[in-house]
């Protein structure tokens, strides 16, 4: 792990203005020393401190203060300034993996708006031979935390770089991707991460983590295990310039592509097929489709001990894991515990396309979603003795708390 006390290991990728938003519903401009130059820029942007406007659930009350950090220096400064005054900080990227309380956030919300994708392949040390998939030369890119994830995937696919195609269509920004080790269709970002750079709020330094040091697991990492301590600044991804996808490992994807598991295909074919599958499940953001007003899967797939897995009905999915536990399917448990697609009411319900997504049908509050989530969790527990755990980060609320009724 490489640590650089109180300074940045490379200059910010873009120099833009910092925007500050006080809790009067509007974003105000702020004179900002940008990047390493002395240039000052004044901008006015209309916006809101209502966090519902910044989340895919479209739920969340106001923040006391909201800062949009568009350079790495601004991102660190904003967090450091709040920390110096002991003001609570919430880092918010695409807002697609959070459920924020109707009361909002009493503190500073820092929105990650940094940009830039750089080629950082070290050609001197990269293997020069192409002796098989594991030894093929790799292409490394450094992605600023604020880059939109799916646009990045689209760009890498159009450049015929393999490695991200199975993660097509996942909302949010690149910096959040390593936090819960995003995954879909048999792939995880862990398999392509070269290193992650963070701002360590506890020790006030920039830290560079190797993939091993990130201690990735199923929907987790060292960053998720120490919530709030590490602010991701950039992510280095190791991509395959052959134009081929990673081997197809997920049975549903292999079936749709009409190939055997283990086959590698052109990256663009895999991306299009993944996007198609995801759209059918309401897992690609679409403003006009309430099934996508969600945080994606609301519960993680439970990892249970073999005795619990053995007690499940014969047709329950079971996947062995490397730590001798068994992964089963949260969607299967929910459906077989009696919660059908669309279960709920006209305010908050399960998606009509996929039982794992809890959705806002228009006017839902955090309280409505929590009430629904608790009903589903308790139903699965009563039927199968397995406790589902929420995947999104719950801000200012918990599944066992009774949130105040804020509906007017
Ligand atoms: C329709 C839909 C489909 C989805 N499908 C998938 C899927 O297939 N696979 C999957 O894994 N996820 C999926 N998700 C969940 C979500 O998109 C991902 O977890 C995504 O990586 C979250 O990114 P974000 O930028 O929106 O993070 P946010 O929701 O803004 O933040 C999530 C958490 O990370 C923290 N955080 C964000 N950025 C940083 C940073 N730079 N440094 C430190 N902490 C940070 C936040 O404080 C918060 O705790 C889906 C969500 C939706 C709405």
Together in a domain, 267 and 130: yes
Q: The domain that contains 28 carries what CATH number?
A: 3.30.43.10
For ligand 1, atom 47, the nearest C-alpha belongs to 91
**Has residue 196 been placed in a domain?**
yes
Last residue of a domain, one of 112, 145, 167: 112
* Annotation marks residue 219 as catalytic: yes
Together in a domain, 126 and 34: no
Q: pLDDT at position 323, please?
A: 85
Q: Are 299 and 330 in contact (CB under 8 A)?
A: yes
Number of domains in the chain: 3
**Has residue 406 been placed in a domain?**
no
Got the DSSP string for 176-217? GTTTTT-EETTEEGGGGEEEEEEEETTTTEEEEEETTTTT-B
**Has residue 404 been placed in a domain?**
no
Together in a domain, 276 and 298: no
List 148's β-bridge partners, or say none.
Answer: 173
Q: Is 198 exposed, middle or buried (0-12, 13-18, 19+ CB in 10 A)?
A: buried
Give the Å distance between the CA of 357 and the centre of ligand 1: 14
**Has residue 403 been placed in a domain?**
no
pTM over 0.85: yes
Together in a domain, 302 and 263: no
For residue 13, give the H/E element and its range. Answer: none
Together in a domain, 124 and 97: no
* Annotation marks residue 297 as catalytic: yes
**Which protein residues are within 6 Å of ligand 1, measured from CB?**
56, 90-98, 112, 145, 170-173, 175-177, 179-180, 182-184, 231-232, 283, 285, 292, 294-296, 393
Place of tokens 């039982």: 355
Of 1, 49, 59, 55, the residue nearest 361 (C-alpha): 59
Together in a domain, 122 and 258: yes
Last residue of a domain, one of 112, 144, 162: 112
Together in a domain, 124 and 258: yes
Together in a domain, 252 and 367: no
CA distances from residue 93 to 64, 109, 379 in whole angstroms, order as listed = 17, 10, 32
Mutate to test the pocket of ligand 1, among 96, 168, 197, 271 (most ligand atoms within 8 A of CB): 96
Candidates 221, 297, 349, 351; catalytic one:
297
For ligand 1, atom 18, the nearest C-alpha belongs to 97
**Has residue 215 been placed in a domain?**
yes
Q: pLDDT at position 26, please?
A: 35
Last residue of a domain, one of 112, 127, 147: 112
Place of tokens 């806002």: 360
* Annotation marks residue 391 as catalytic: yes
Tokens of 238: 């190791």
Together in a domain, 33 and 95: yes
Together in a domain, 236 and 375: no
Instruction: Write down the H helix ranges in 356-408.
Output: 366-384
Q: Which domain holds residue 349?
A: 290-395
Q: pLDDT at position 138, please?
A: 83
Pairing of the two strands 105-112 and 63-69: parallel
Question: DSSP code of 284?
Answer: S
Number of H helices, E strands in the chain: 8, 20
**Has residue 402 been placed in a domain?**
no
Q: The domain that contains 236 carries what CATH number?
A: 3.30.465.10
Q: pLDDT at position 14, please?
A: 22
Per-residue tens of pLDDT for the chain, all 408 residues: 766 554 333 333 322 233 333 343 333 333 232 222 222 232 223 356 999 999 999 999 999 999 999 999 999 999 999 999 999 999 999 999 999 999 999 999 999 999 999 999 865 554 444 444 444 568 999 999 999 999 999 999 999 999 999 999 999 999 999 999 999 999 999 999 999 999 999 999 999 999 999 999 999 999 999 999 999 999 999 999 999 999 999 999 999 999 999 999 999 999 999 999 999 999 999 999 999 999 999 999 999 999 999 999 999 999 988 888 999 999 999 999 999 999 999 999 999 999 999 999 999 999 999 999 999 999 999 999 999 999 999 999 999 876 554 443
Together in a domain, 105 and 124: no
Together in a domain, 258 and 136: yes
**Has residue 15 been placed in a domain?**
yes
Candidates 219, 271, 278, 377; catalytic one:
219
Q: What is the CA radius of gyration of the chain?
A: 22
**Has residue 407 been placed in a domain?**
no
Mutate to test the pocket of ligand 1, among 170, 181, 188 (most ligand atoms within 8 A of CB): 170
For ligand 1, atom 3, the nearest C-alpha belongs to 296
């Amino acid at each position: 792990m490489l640590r650089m006390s109180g300074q940045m290991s490379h200059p910010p990728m873009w120099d833009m203005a910092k925007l500050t938003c006080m809790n009067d519903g509007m974003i105000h401009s702020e004179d900002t020393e940008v990047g390493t130059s002395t240039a000052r820029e004044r901008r006015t942007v209309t916006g809101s401190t209502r966090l519902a406007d910044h989340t895919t659930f479209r739920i969340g009350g106001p923040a006391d203060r909201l800062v949009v950090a568009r350079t790495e220096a601004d991102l660190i400064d904003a967090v450091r300034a709040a920390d110096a005054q002991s003001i609570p900080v919430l880092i918010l990227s695409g807002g697609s993996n959070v459920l924020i309380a109707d009361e909002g956030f009493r503190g500073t919300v820092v929105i990650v708006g940094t940009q830039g994708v750089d080629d950082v392949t070290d050609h001197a040390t990269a293997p020069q031979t192409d002796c098989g998939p594991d030894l093929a030369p790799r292409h490394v890119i450094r992605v600023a935390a604020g880059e939109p994830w799916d646009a990045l995937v689209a760009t890498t696919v159009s450049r015929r770089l393999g490695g991200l195609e199975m993660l097509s269509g996942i909302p949010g920004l690149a910096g959040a991707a390593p936090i819960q080790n995003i995954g879909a269709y048999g792939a995880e970002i862990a398999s392509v991460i070269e290193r992650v750079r963070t701002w360590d709020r506890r020790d006030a330094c920039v830290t560079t983590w190797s993939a091993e040091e990130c201690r990735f697991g199923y929907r987790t990492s060292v960053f998720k295990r120490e919530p709030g301590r590490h602010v991701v600044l950039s992510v280095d991804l190791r991509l395959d310039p052959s134009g081929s996808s990673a081997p197809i490992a997920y049975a549903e994807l292999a079936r749709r592509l009409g190939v055997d598991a283990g086959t590698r295909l052109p990256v663009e074919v895999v991306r299009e097929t993944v996007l198609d599958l995801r759209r059918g499940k309401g897992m690609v953001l679409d403003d006009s489709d309430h099934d996508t007003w969600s945080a994606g899967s609301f519960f993680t797939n439970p990892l249970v001990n073999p005795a619990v897995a053995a007690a499940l009905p014969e047709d329950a999915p079971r996947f062995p894991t490397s730590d001798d536990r068994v992964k089963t399917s949260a969607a299967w448990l929910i459906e077989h515990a009696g919660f059908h697609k669309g279960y709920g009411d006209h305010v908050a319900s399960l998606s009509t396309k996929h039982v794992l997504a809890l959705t806002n049908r228009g006017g839902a509050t955090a309280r409505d979603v929590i009430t629904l989530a608790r009903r589903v969790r308790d139903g699965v527990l009563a039927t199968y003795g397995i406790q589902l755990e929420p995947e999104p980060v719950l801000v200012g609320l918990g599944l066992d708390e009774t949130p105040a009724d804020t509906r007017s």
